[in-house]
């Protein structure tokens, strides 16, 4: 089962624990001119809905590394029907580059009988209109490694070699227990499955809370891919996961270090300026009809705290290490101010 897929009408299997379908299209875009999918500026389009945490990762990394000029982006709306994500935010409901109304068309252009969920993020070959890959963890890793020659000057090193082994261990914990852990709670089909998932989630959050008590970022004094992967869950925690997914032992604001850390990242260029709180709430509360059958979207919570001082500077470090912050958000890719934390000030 895939949460952000075409399977809109059924996420919860009664009596069962949630089991994510992790079978993705594993093709890679490589810095090898002889590969099936070689790195080429302008050849591929990233399809990434702002509402989806897995897609949000790719939007952040693309911006941090300065890949906007070489990888274009298409953004479906926050909701989808039983078939796939749709481009309802674009004029005429059509992606202006690919010329399609729904992401499903790109998957079918590659695999006419594609049997799995139509997920974002997805990299699409513009000329053929065919999906190349929807393997979300590999996509961001390859943005760092395979597209290196096109990184902006001052781009951060999100995969530092000296801490890679430790970082991959941390990211496994984050994925299995936190990124996927909130879904395990929300889509639990029995009381027993829910309570087990709840305990696993908060055990992991407590572990990360302690780690962040003495380290500004997960791997030390500057941001890495691990921080990107944790942030997209944390930024959705109070608006969605606390209530909608019943992850309600405490809010994110009740964690001293996680809350300070999350605000530190939100206020860092490349993170908060990719977050659309309105789309996030619309997606979860409207699409997950078996969890929220009324499809009523809550007005709260108050988001103004995301812009309050975080005090994490006392731990030292610099978000971009020896690099620099990305420049202003590319024209046309801005999050509407009324969809941001600033709207609550």
Are 122 and 131 contacting, i.e. CB atoms less than 8 angstroms apart? Answer: yes
Pull the structure tokens for residue 62. Answer: 């693309």
Residues listed for the chain: 345
Active site residue 183: yes
Positive/negative CA dihedral, 124, 63, 22, 32: positive
CA angle 88, 43, 95 (to 5 degrees): 10
Peptide bond just before 51 cis, omega within 30 deg: no
Active site residue 44: no
Distance CA 20, CA 182 (A): 12
Distance CA 83, CA 123 (A): 19
Active-site entry in 24, 44, 150, 183: 183
The CA dihedral of 220, 224, 228, 229, to the nearest 10 degrees, is -90
What single-letter DSSP state applies at residue 342?
A: G
Q: Which of 112, 115, 84 is nearest to 100 (CA)?
A: 84
147 is in an annotated binding site: no
Distance CA 264, CA 105 (A): 39
Active-site entry in 24, 44, 52, 284: 52
* Burial zone of 262 (CB within 10 Å; 0-12 exposed, 13-18 middle, 19+ buried): buried
Residue list, annotated binding site for glutathione: 85
Binding-site residues from annotation: 85
As annotated, the active-site residues are 52, 183
């Amino acid at each position: 089962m895939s949460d952000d897929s075409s399977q809109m009408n059924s996420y919860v299997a009664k009596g069962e624990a949630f089991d994510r379908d992790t079978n993705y299209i594993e093709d890679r875009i490589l810095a090898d001119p002889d590969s099936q999918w070689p790195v080429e500026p302008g050849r591929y389009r990233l399809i990434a809905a702002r509402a989806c945490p897995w897609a949000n990762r790719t939007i952040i990394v693309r911006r941090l590394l300065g890949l906007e000029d070489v990888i274009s982006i298409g953004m479906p709306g926050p909701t989808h029907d039983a078939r796939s994500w749709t481009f309802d935010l674009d004029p005429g409901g059509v992606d202006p580059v690919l010329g399609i109304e729904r992401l499903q068309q790109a998957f079918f252009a590659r695999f006419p009988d594609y049997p799995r969920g139509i997920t974002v993020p997805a990299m699409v070959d513009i000329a053929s209109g065919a999906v190349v890959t929807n393997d979300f963890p590999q996509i961001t890793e390859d943005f760092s490694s395979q597209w290196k020659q096109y990184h902006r000057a001052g781009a951060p090193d999100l995969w530092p070699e000296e801490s890679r082994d430790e970082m991959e261990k941390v990211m496994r914990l984050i994925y299995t227990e936190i990124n996927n852990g909130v879904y395990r709670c929300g889509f639990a089909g029995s009381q027993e499955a829910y309570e087990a998932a709840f305990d696993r989630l908060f055990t992991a959050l407590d572990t990360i809370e302690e780690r962040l008590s003495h380290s500004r970022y997960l791997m030390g004094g500057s941001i890495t891919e691990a921080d990107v992967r944790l942030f997209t869950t944390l930024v959705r925690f109070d608006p969605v996961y606390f209530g909608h997914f019943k992850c309600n032992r405490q809010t994110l604001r009740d964690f001293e270090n996680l809350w300070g850390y999350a605000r530190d990242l939100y206020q860092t260029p490349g993170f908060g300026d990719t977050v659309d709180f309105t789309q996030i709430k619309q997606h979860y509360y409207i699409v997950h009809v078996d969890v929220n059958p009324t499809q009523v979207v809550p007005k709260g919570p108050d988001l103004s705290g995301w812009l309050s001082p975080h005090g994490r500077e006392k731990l030292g470090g610099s978000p971009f290490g020896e690099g620099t912050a990305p420049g202003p958000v590319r024209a046309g890719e801005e999050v509407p101010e009324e969809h941001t934390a600033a709207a609550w000030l």
